[in-house]
Amino acid sequence: MSASSLRPSPGVSPASGTQRRGRGSRRFGAGGACVLVLGVLLIAVVLLGRVHGVVGTAIAVVLPWLGCVAAILVLFAFTLRRRWWLVVAPVLVWVITVSPAVTWIPAAMGEIDAKTDLVVASQNVEADSGTADASANALAARGADVIALTELDADSRRLAEETLEESHPYSYLVGTVGLWSTVPIVDARPLELGLGWQRALNAEIATDTGNVSVYVVHAASFRPGEQADRDAMLAALGDEIAADPAEQVIALGDFNAATTDPALSAVRTLLSEAKQKAPGISFTWPAAFPVVRIDHIFQRGFDSRGGEAFRAGDSDHFAVIAALAPVDSTGLNRTVTS
């Protein structure tokens, strides 16, 4: 072999390819390592969020806020070029997991039909706040046909009853929860849900499109390491709903659990959360700076026309409201002939 055959081709440096690969490796080394670490952490957190107990609850609370991590991963995608798939996997896992908590619909199904639609609202009025009357007035002013109030004490019960006596003449109260309605309550019963004291009720209301089974819930408080009562109560509520033969069911109140909390799975597998008009997740607590949605309106047998979470009274919880359009067994909106 001649010496000339060992010479590099004109204009080509033997080191240039190696240098380019080196620069590419260094570029991936910094960005890729960050992506891998963030991606692994994101997937691990999402998977741990399926664990019942304090871990699952804590992750359900922070899950929506992990969108900040997902956004950082997306930004990294523009620097990784052909390795963009490293970003897609964790972001896709996060999107799928957080999607049940997104209560937004792009547009309502139309104007509310006063003849057929049912407007329901709920708020934890915060015991000792002294503003249950303001909360009741605010919900009634929004056109709520059914109002559920939780965390009622003796004073707030009295204020709410006096405020809603004329506009919502049908009511049923037990323990710390109460239900007021513009349509007749034909049956009602307290629910202990395994606690030994009453923080929930079930009532049947008679609407123009048929009877509706309504559950009002004030779930036991969640404290790290002491969530057993709440978890047991929500599981028992799931059993009650599963045994309920009603085609139209609504469960609303303070569940002390974010939508994706594993403790709510028994309810979420049977009912759907009513959709809201505002983009996002419509956080409800604490009212001073809401970071988690623990007040819910779940339903079956209805289509959502949209709703919202909003401040009412001086409670530490936002109120939630939703307009529901009844659906018959064929999936078509019911109509009422006048």
Taken in order of first residue, the domains within the chain and their CATH numbers are 18-101 (no CATH), 118-326 (3.60.10.10)
Query: Strand, helix or coil at 285?
Result: strand
- From residue 20, alpha-carbon distances to 16, 17, 24, 25, 33 in Å are 6, 5, 6, 8, 19
336 pLDDT more than 50 = no
Query: What torsion, rounded to 10 degrees, do the Cα atoms 242, 254, 97, 36 define?
Result: -140
Q: Which two tokens stand for residue 145?
A: 């046909």
Question: 78 falls in which pLDDT band (50, 70, 90)?
Answer: low
Whole-number Å distance between alpha carbons of 170 and 99: 37
Q: With a cut of 60, say whether residue 82 has pLDDT above it.
A: yes
What is the per-residue pLDDT across 164-193, written as a single tens digit (0 to 9) for each? 999 999 999 999 999 999 999 999 999 999
Residues contacting 178, CB < 8 A, separation 6+ = 148, 149, 150, 152, 157, 160, 171, 172, 216
Instruction: Give the model's pLDDT for residue 22.
Output: 47
Q: Distance between CA 38 and CA 214 in Å, rounded? A: 43
CA distances (Å), origin 180, targets 86, 148, 168, 171, 236: 52, 7, 6, 4, 24
For helices 132-141 and 154-164, angle between their N-to-C axes, nearest 10 degrees: 30
User: Tokens 């049956």 map to which residue?
Assistant: 187
Q: Is 305 helix (H, G, I), strand (E, B) or coil?
A: strand
Whole-structure pTM value: 0.82
One-letter amino acid of 96: I
Whole-angstrom distance, CA of residue 184 vs CA of residue 267: 26
Q: CB of 73 within 8 A of CB of 288? A: no
* Alpha-carbon dihedral sign for residues 286, 290, 291, 293: positive
DSSP per position, 213-273: EEEEEEPPPP-TT--HHHHHHHHHHHHHHHT---SSEEEEEE-SS-TT-GGGHHHHTT-EE
Of 190, 193, 185, 135, residue with least CA distance to 163 = 135
- Cis bond before residue 106 (omega within 30° of 0): no
Out of 14-23, 33-42, 74-83, pick the least confident. Answer: 14-23
pLDDT band at 335 (very low <50, low <70, confident <90, very high): very low
Summarised one tens digit per residue, pLDDT across range 109-122 is 456 666 778 999 99
For residues 47-59, give the mean pLDDT.
Answer: 77
CB-CB contact of 301 with 117 (8 Å): no
Backbone angles phi, psi at 195, to 5 degrees: -90, -30
Query: How sure is the predictor about 328, in pLDDT bands with cuts at 50, 70 and 90?
Result: low
Predicted confidence (pLDDT) per residue in 146-158, tens digit? 999 999 999 999 9
309, containing H or E segment: strand 302-310
Task: Give the contacts of 99 (CB within 8 A, at least 6 positions apart).
Answer: none
194 confidence band (pLDDT: 50, 70, 90): confident
Tens of pLDDT, residue by residue over 255-303, are 999 998 999 999 999 999 998 887 778 899 999 999 999 999 999 999 9
